Structure 1
Amino acid sequence: MNMDTPHWWQTAVIYQIYPRSFQDSNGDGVGDLRGIIRRLPHLVELGVDALWLSPISPSPMADFGYDVSDYTGVDPLFGDMADFDALVEAAHAANLRVILDFVPNHSSDRHPWFIESRASRDSPRRDWYIWRDPAPDGGPPNNWLSVFGGGAWDFDAATGQYYYHAFLAAQPDLNWRNPRVRAALYEAMRFWLRRGVDGFRIDVIWHLIKDDQFRDNPPNPDFKPGDPPYHALIPLYTADRDEAHEVIAEMRDAIKSFPEALLIGEIYLPVERLVAYYGRDLAGLHLPFNFSLIGAPWRAAALKKMVDDYEAALPKGGWPNWVLGNHDKPRIASRIGRAQARNAAILLLTLRGTPTLYYGEEIGMTQVEIAPEQARDPCARSGSGRDGCRTPMPWDGGPHAGFSDAEPWLPLAPDFKQENVANQRDDATSIYRLYRRLTALRRQSKALSIGAYRPVAATGDVFVFLREFDGERIAVALNLGAEATAVSFRFGGLTGRILVSSMGDRDGEPVDGDIDLRPNEGVVIACAV
C-alpha cells in the first residue's frame, strides 16, 4: 500500500458503539440512533475518525441484533431509516465515517428466507440454509458443536431434517456455497453503501464456509475441565476453511464500485492463520481484526514478542490493526487494572496500524458485575455472559448517568457518579484527556499515523519501541510493572522532549539520555534529529 496517499482507514481511529448502551433519546432505557446523533460532538472532541455500530437491523433480539430478520432495515428499537439517514448525514458533516456491523454467516430463524426454507423440503429457498438428514440412529448428522454450548444441529419435525446453527438455534447458518445466497447478501451490502455507509465490520467471517462432506470435528487434546464446551472439539470442518478466501475475494469484488469502502473481518485465529484473510494480492479483507492484545499477558516481553510476530507475519503491503476490547470481552481496565489502562491507551494509539476503541475505554470503564436476575445475554446461561462489558455509557453524575430519563436496560457502573465523561473532561490528568492528547498527536505526526515500527531492547518490565517516518522519530516507553525503573535507550542515548505522559504531568519535559519512569508510567517522546 502506498503511504504517500494512504486510504482513509489507514490513518483513522475507529470507535465502536454498542447502540443499546450509548445514549437513549426517547426514554425507554435503551440507546438509539437519535441518541448517537446527540453524542457525535463527544466523538469529535475525542478525536476519532469513524464510528462502528453494532447491529441495528430488525431482529427478534435473541442475540441482541446478531440474529437478523431483515438485512436492509432498521429495528424500531433504534429508530427508523430516516433516523439512520440523519445519523449518516450528521456524522459526515462532522468528518466522521460510518461503519455498520454486517452479519452474513447466519440470520434469525424469523427471517423470511428461513421461514420459507423450513416450510418444505421442496421450498425454493430450502438450500439457502444447511439442512441434513438425521444420522442412522435418528440423531444429529455429525458431532458439530455450537459456540454458545450444546450441539449445533436443531431438528425440524415438520420436514424431518436438522438445520445447522453455529450459535443459537434461533440463528440458522446461511449456506454460503449457494450463489443465490451470496448475491442476496452482496446486494444488501450495496444497499447500505448507496445510503452513504463507509464500510462494514463483518461478523464471524471465518465461519462462512463449512465442510461439504460434513465430517466430524476431531477431539481437542488440549481440552481441560472448565473450558467452554465448544472447545472440546477442534473446529476443523466448521471454520477457517480454505474456500472462505475465495468467497471474501468475491465479496470484495461485489462492492468494487465503492472503492473507498472498508471491510473489517471478525476473526479469532492465531496470527499465522489470521493474516491469510488479507487475501491473495491483498484482495481479501482490508483489516482482519487482530485481537492479540485482548488476551495478551500484560508483560513487556510477551507484548514485544506478540507485536514483533504480528509485524513479521503480515503480507507485503498488509496494513496492521489493533483492538483492546469489544462487546464480547471483559473490559481492558478490569483485565489489567486502572493504572495500566493508561499504558494500554498509549500502546493502542502508538503502534503501527489502525486502532479501534470500544466505547467507554476513553474513560477507563470497568467490567460491571451483573446479578443473575439482571442478566440479559443468552450466553449468561453457560456462565460466559457478556453483559458486564455492555453497560450504559456514564455521561455525567446525574440521574441514570445522563444516559436515559428511565431505568437503563442494564445496570450502570457503581462508580458512575465519579467516573464519567463530564468529570473527566474537566480533569487534565484523567484518562479521557490522555486519549484526547494521543488522538491529537496521531493526527499531527506522520511517524505515528503511517510510520515504521522498530522494536528497542530494554531491561525489566519495560516495552520500548520507535516509530519513524521521513526523519521524524518518536520513542514510546511503557513501564508495565509496579516498581519505578530507569530506561536506558540502547540505540545511542536519547535527547528530545516528552510529548505525552500517561499521568499528564510530564508533557513537554526535556529528555537527555536515560529516563526515569514511575510505576505504571508510560511516555511518548519526540526524539531530536
Structure 2
Amino acid sequence: MTMMNDKNSLWWQKAVVYQVYPQSFKDSNNDGIGDLNGIIEKLPYLKKLGIDVIWLNPIYVSPQVDNGYDIADYYQINPDYGTLSDFEQLIQQAHSLNLKIILDLVVNHTSDQHEWFKASKKSRDNKYSDYYIWKDPSHDGSLPNDWGATFGGPAWTYVPERKQYYLHSFAPQQPELNWENPALRQDIYKMMRYWLDFGVDGFRMDVISLISKRQDFPNANGRFPYSKSYYAGASNGPRVHEFLQEMNREVLSNFDTLTVGETPNTNADQAILYTDSNRHELNMVFNFDHMHIDYSERGKFDVTRFQLTDLKRVFTQWQNKLSDHGWNSLYWSNHDQPRAVTRFGSEKYRVESAKSLATVLHMLKGTPYIFQGEEIGMTNAKFDSLTDYQDIETKNIINLYKEEGLDESFIKRVAYLRSRDNARTPMPWQNEKPYAGFSQNKPWIKMNPNYDTINVAQALMDTDSVFYHYQRLIALRHEYPVVINGKYHLYDPNDNNIYAFSRESTDGIKLFVIASFSEEKLTYQLPKVITNDNWRVLLNSYDNAFIIQDVISLEPYQSVILINR
C-alpha cells in the first residue's frame, strides 16, 4: 500500500469524522445519561476504528426541549455531561491520540431560557430587544404570516410584554436569532473564538442556511409543506453568504478548522456557493437530497422504500457538480435520521448490507461521516409502545396521525421506520443485561432491544465484523490518494440492484466499486475496461474468492473494490 502524499489535499479532505451523540454514547457516572468522561473512556475504541475527527452534538447548558439544540448558555457545559474541566480533558486526551474535536454550532436560534431572549422579550428598547426576530400582528390582529414550524403549529408565538410575535422555525422554545443585527453577529463570533481558543478544531453548523431571512417575510402560500413553509423566506436567504464570509473573515480564517454546514433545502448548485474555497465560507455542507428520496405525499413520516436508481442519481449529481468546485460531505445517517441498515440496507442481511453501504460511502469523493453505532451495523429500534418515543418531532406526528384516525399499527410502523429516536438509543457496548454496558442504571431513553446480538464487544471479537470492514475502508482512504481526489464516474445508472462506479486520479490509478443492494444473488456484466489482467481485488466484503471476468456473481449485498495500478 502507498502512503498518502498529496499536498493539494487539506487535512479535512482526508479525514473521516465520527459523530458522537453525547447523552447516548457512554455513561461514566451511572445516572443514565452519557457524558464527557464516558467519551474519554472510549477514545481508544475510536482510535482503533481509525477515525480522525469526533463531532459532538450540543454539550451546552440547555432545557433539552430539542435534545440540546435549544441552548441556554453558549459558554457553559450541560451538567449532565460534566464540567468545563472534563471537556478540557477530553480535548487534551483526544489530541494526544491525534483525534480532533468539533462542536455543534447552533446560531440560528437559542433557547427561550437564554439571557438574551429573557431580556429581549421584556421591551422593545433594551440592548437585546433586536437580537431576535419580532413582528407586529397583521392588520387584523392575526399572525405576521402563514409560516408553520417543523415541530408543529405556527412559526410565531405572541409575547404580551412586547405586543409582538417572535419567529421560531422549530419549537416555540427555540426563538430565531436576528442576524441582521451586527451586535448579535459579533457576540456569536466572540463565542466561536472562545471555543477555538479553548482547543476545538471546528464546527458543524446547525441549519446554517436559515440564518438570513427575507425582510419582507413573504407568505408561503402553499409552496412548501406547512411544517417547512418558513423556507419561503428563511432558506438560503439574501445575506447568508455575506454573513458566512464575514464569519470566515473575522473568525474561521484565523484557525485551522473543519467546518460543515447543515443546509436544508439546498441543491448542489447552491452548495457550491457555500463550499467553493475561492468564496471563503465553509469547507463542506450536508446534502439532504438523498434523505428525501423515500418521502411520500406525507413527507418524511411514511412507509415508502427508496429506489436505488434515485439514490445513484442524487449522489452522482452531487459528486459531479462539486467535483472541481467545493467539497462533499458523505453520510447515511445522523442524530436526525433513522439507522442506515434499516433504511437503505436490509435487516435480513444486516452485516452484509452494512458493509455494502459503508463501501459505497467511503469510496465516494468527499469527507465521510460515521454516526455512532453505524460501524457495528445498528438497526432501528422496535419499541413495544408508542409511549416509548421521546423525540418531540415523533411525538407530534404520533398525535397528529391519531387525530387523523390512522390505524395504530400503521403509526407504529411509521415511527419504527422514521423516528429520530432510532439513532438516539444508547450505544450497546456489551451483551450485558439490562443496559448493554452503557450504564448500570436506566438510560434516559430505552435501549434498542437487539443489543444482545448487536454490540461492540461482539463486533470486536469477530474479525469479519462490520467494525473491521469500516476499519479497512478508513485505512484505504488514508493510504490511497485516488480515494480523496479521483474523478467519479457512474456505470449503469438504470440498474436498480447494483451501484457501480469508478474513481480515477490524474496519475492513472483507478478504482472500480461494485455494490449489490439486493437480497438475491445477482450477476453483473463488468465494463470491458475492467476485464483485463491489470486489475486486482482491493477489498471484498465477503470471505470468498472473487474472480474478475466478463460476468461476475454477487452474493446478497456483496461489495467489492478493484484497483488498477
* TM norm structure 2: 0.87
Q: Structure 1 residues 313 and 118 mapped into 2: Cα distance closer, same or farther (>3 Å)?
A: same
Separation in structure 2 between the aligned mates of residue 234 and residue 115 of structure 1, nearest angstrom = 24
Q: 1:105 to 1:492 in 2, by over 3 A?
A: closer
Q: Is 1:104 paired with 2:100?
A: no
- Which residue number in structure 2 is paired with residue 226 of structure 1? none
Compute the displacement of 1:3 (Å): 5.3
- The yes-or-no answer on 1:281 pairing with 2:278 is yes
Secondary structure at the aligned position of 1:169 is classed as: coil
- The answer to whether the Cα contact below 8 Å between 1:190 and 1:255 also exists between their aligned partners in 2 is yes
Q: Please give the residue correspondences for 1:244-255 in structure 2 after superposition, counting only pairs within 5 Å.
A: 244-255=240-251
- Quote the Cα distance in structure 2 between the aligned partners of 1:257 and 1:283: 8
Cα pair 1:500 1:506 within 8 Å, conserved: no
Separation in 1, partners of 2:340, 2:180: 38
Instruction: Check conservation: 1:456, 1:465, Cα contact below 8 A.
Output: yes
CA shift at 1:143, angstroms? 1.2
More deviation in 244-253 or 177-186? 244-253
How far 1:439 moved relative to its partner?
1.1
Q: 1:409 is aligned with what amino acid?
A: W
Q: Deviations over 1:44-94 (max 9, x none)?
A: 111111000000011111111101111112111100110000000011111
Give the drift of 1:9: 0.5
The code of the aligned residue for 2:25 comes to F
1:458 offset after TM fit, Å? 7.5
Letter in 1 for 2:85: A
2:513 to 470, 476, 493: 476
Q: Residue in 2 aligned with 1:262?
A: 258
Equivalent-residue separation in structure 1 for 2:288 and 2:156 (angstroms) = 29
Pair 1:486-2:524 in alignment: yes
The answer as to 2:524 corresponding to 1:521 is: no
Sort the Cα spacing of 1:246 and 1:386 in 2 relative to 1 into closer, same or farther, 3 A. same
How far apart in 1 are the matches of 2:342 and 2:167? 36
Corresponding residue SS for 1:73: strand
Tell me what 2:342 maps to.
334
Q: 1:189 offset after TM fit, Å?
A: 0.6
Segment drifting more, 206-215 vs 494-503? 494-503
**How far did 1:22 drift?**
0.3
Name structure 1 gaps, 5 residues minimum: 224-228
Residue of structure 1 aligned with 2:424, choices 390, 393, 396: 390
Superposed displacement of residue 296, structure 1:
4.2
Query: Counterparts of 2:259 and 2:494 in 1: how far apart (Å)?
Result: 39
Paired with 1:459 and 1:117, the residues of 2 have a C-alpha distance of 55
What is residue 539 of structure 2 aligned with on the other side? 500
| Residue equivalent to 2:303 | none
The TM-score with structure 1 as length reference comes to 0.93
DSSP-derived class of the 2:450 partner = coil
Equivalent residue for 2:301?
Answer: none
The alignment partner of 2:274 has SS state of helix
1:351-500 mapped onto 2 (5 Å cutoff)? 351-370=364-383, 371-383=385-397, 385-399=419-433, 400-457=435-492, 460=495, 461-469=497-505, 470-481=507-518, 482-491=520-529, 493-495=531-533, 496-500=535-539
Q: What is the RMSD computed on CA atoms of the aligned residues?
A: 2.1
Give the % identical residues: 37
**2:351 is equivalent to residue 348 of structure 1:** no
Aligned partners of 1:74 and 1:80 also within 8 Å: yes
Match of 2:118 among 115, 118, 132: 115
Kindly indicate whether the alpha-carbon contact (under 8 Å) linking 1:201 and 1:266 is maintained by their aligned counterparts in 2: yes
How many residues end up aligned between the 2 structures?
518
Report the AA paired with residue 329 of structure 2: N
Structure 1 CA distance for aligned equivalents of residues 483 and 549 of structure 2: 22
Match of 1:37 in 2: 40
Cross-structure match for 2:325? 317
**How far, CA to CA, are the matches of 2:147 and 2:430 in structure 1?**
47
1:129 paired with 2:95, answer no
Distance in 2 (CA, whole Å) between partners of 1:432 and 1:487 is 30
Give the Cα separation in 1 of the matches to 2:283 and 2:148.
30
Q: Is the 8 A contact 1:391 1:413 kept in 2?
A: yes
What is the DSSP-based 3-state SS (H/G/I as helix, E as strand, rest coil) of the residue aligned with 1:416? helix
Q: How many Å separate the matches in 2 of 1:517 and 1:295?
A: 28
Which residues of structure 2 form unaligned runs of 5+?
295-305, 398-414
Deviation at 1:21, TM superposition (A): 0.3
Of 464-473 and 18-27, deviating more is: 464-473
| Structure 1 residue 512, shift from structure 2 partner | 5.1
